[in-house]
């Protein structure tokens, strides 16, 4: 699948929709964990809710795709669990900028493994660097 | 040192997630991809919970289940679905840089609802994030 020459606007709307949901969740998560604690239990409850809500949409998928998606889900949980561990051991002003560098990891891996499907040019790389630097400053500034 | 390693592992995990999802989403719809990734994540989280905090779920009142259930719907039904749709349309590298702006949303919510006033460092960070987003969108 070759990359589209002009990414559609719906893609950007979805991206900002995801950022909005994640940003709002960060606020809700903080409030919930302050009140109830047990962060891993919180993750399990949230995942169960998501699985139940999406179960009606499940049907037999193409086998080749399943492995990638399952690995994607496991990587996401590894990331989340590792970030919780980091935050329990380090001040947030140290842990958050390090874990927040994940766009740079994606850019590097996309350049290495998705060459035929995605165009990663200098603007994409510089944009990712600026976003990561900006998030680090935002974290330090709070 | 363990904390630094854990933070770096978080970055690697989340960064790799997007690339793997991009490959998987070539052949299946984002909604199904979201469901499958959540199933995998749930298995991993249950194992981690049983090892680290086996009594964690038992400490929650009904309101706690409701609160984090709502977070699950927002984060996964909305957030990850949008995530996978964006990844499929824009590619992993471009979309992840846009997802990473979520702390900006948190800041805006904090400023809007709690009256928190942003300082110069935070405003400089916001400017960098916006500049980065513009570059990614125009790349």
> Could you read off the pLDDT of B75-114 as tens digits, one per residue?
888 998 899 999 988 888 888 888 888 888 877 877 777 6
* A116 Cβ under 8 Å from any chain B Cβ: no
Q: Please say if the pLDDT value at position B130 is more than 50.
A: yes
DSSP labels, B53-113: -TTTGGG--HHHHHHHHHHHIIIIIIIIHHHHHHHHHH-HHHHHHHHTTHHHHHHHHHHHH
| pLDDT, position A6 | 55
Q: Please say if the pLDDT value at position A73 is more than 80.
A: yes
Is A134 in Cβ contact with B125 (below 8 Å)? yes
Length of chain A: 142
What's the pLDDT band for B69 if we cut at 50, 70, 90? Answer: very high
Mutate to test the interface with A, among B5, B15, B30 (most CBs of A within 10 A): B15
Mutate to test the interface with A, among B51, B55, B60, B72 (most CBs of A within 10 A): B72
DSSP labels, B14-66: HHHHHHHHHHHTTTS-HHHHHHHHHHHHHHHHHHHHHHH-TTTGGG--HHHHH
Residues B50, B60: Cα–Cα separation, whole Å: 16
Summarize the confidence of residues B114-119 as an average pLDDT: 73
Q: Please say if the pLDDT value at position B129 is more than 80.
A: yes
Summarize the confidence of residues A9-24 as an average pLDDT: 89
The alpha carbon of residue A34 is apart from the nearest alpha carbon of chain B, in Å, by 11
Question: How many A/B residue pairs have CB atoms within 8 Å?
Answer: 482
* Better-predicted residue by pLDDT, B55 or A62: B55
Q: Which residues of A touch B102 (CB under 8 A)?
A: 18-20, 22-23, 26
Q: Which of A77, A86, A110 sits opposite B44 (nearest CB)?
A: A77
Q: Please say if the pLDDT value at position A132 is more than 60.
A: yes
Is B55 within 8 Å of A40 (Cβ atoms)?
Answer: no
Summarize the confidence of residues B118-137 as an average pLDDT: 84
| pLDDT, position A7 | 55
Q: Which residues of B touch A71 (CB under 8 A)?
A: 20, 40
Which among B21, B86, B133, B88 is positioned nearest to A21, based on CA atoms?
Answer: B86
Q: Please say if the pLDDT value at position A61 is more than 70.
A: no
Is A62 in Cβ contact with B27 (below 8 Å)? yes
| pLDDT, position A1 | 46
| pLDDT, position B66 | 92
What are A61's two structure tokens? 């998928």
Residue range B34-60, pLDDT digits in tens: 888 888 889 888 888 888 888 878 888
Q: What is the pTM of this model?
A: 0.81
Q: Which residues of B touch A56 (CB under 8 A)?
A: none
């Amino acid at each position: 699948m070759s990359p589209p020459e002009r990414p559609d606007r719906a893609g950007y709307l979805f991206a900002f929709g995801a950022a909005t949901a994640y940003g709002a969740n960060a606020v809700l998560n903080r409030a919930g964990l302050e009140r109830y604690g047990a962060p891993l239990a919180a993750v399990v409850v949230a995942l169960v809710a998501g699985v139940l809500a999406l179960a009606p949409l499940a049907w037999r998928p193409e086998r080749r795709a399943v492995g990638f998606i399952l690995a994607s889900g496991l990587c996401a949980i590894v990331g989340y669990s590792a970030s919780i561990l980091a935050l329990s051991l380090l001040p947030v002003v140290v842990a958050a900028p390090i874990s927040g560098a994940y766009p740079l990891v994606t850019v590097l891996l996309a350049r290495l493994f998705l060459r035929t499907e995605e165009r990663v040019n200098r603007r994409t790389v510089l944009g990712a660097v600026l976003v990561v630097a900006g998030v680090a400053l935002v974290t330090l500034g709070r | 040192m363990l904390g630094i390693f854990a933070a770096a592992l978080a970055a690697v995990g989340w960064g790799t997630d997007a690339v793997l999802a991009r490959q998987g989403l070539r052949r299946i719809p984002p909604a199904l991809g979201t469901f499958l990734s959540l199933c995998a994540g749930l298995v991993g989280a249950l194992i981690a919970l049983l090892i680290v905090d086996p009594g964690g779920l038992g400490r929650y009142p009904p309101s706690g289940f409701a609160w984090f259930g709502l977070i699950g719907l927002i984060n996964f039904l909305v957030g990850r679905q949008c995530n996978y749709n964006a990844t499929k349309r824009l590619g992993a590298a471009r979309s992840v840089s846009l997802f990473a702006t979520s702390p900006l949303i948190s800041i805006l919510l904090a400023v809007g609802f709690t009256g928190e006033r942003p300082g110069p460092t935070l405003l400089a960070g916001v400017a960098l994030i916006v500049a980065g987003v513009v570059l990614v969108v125009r790349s």
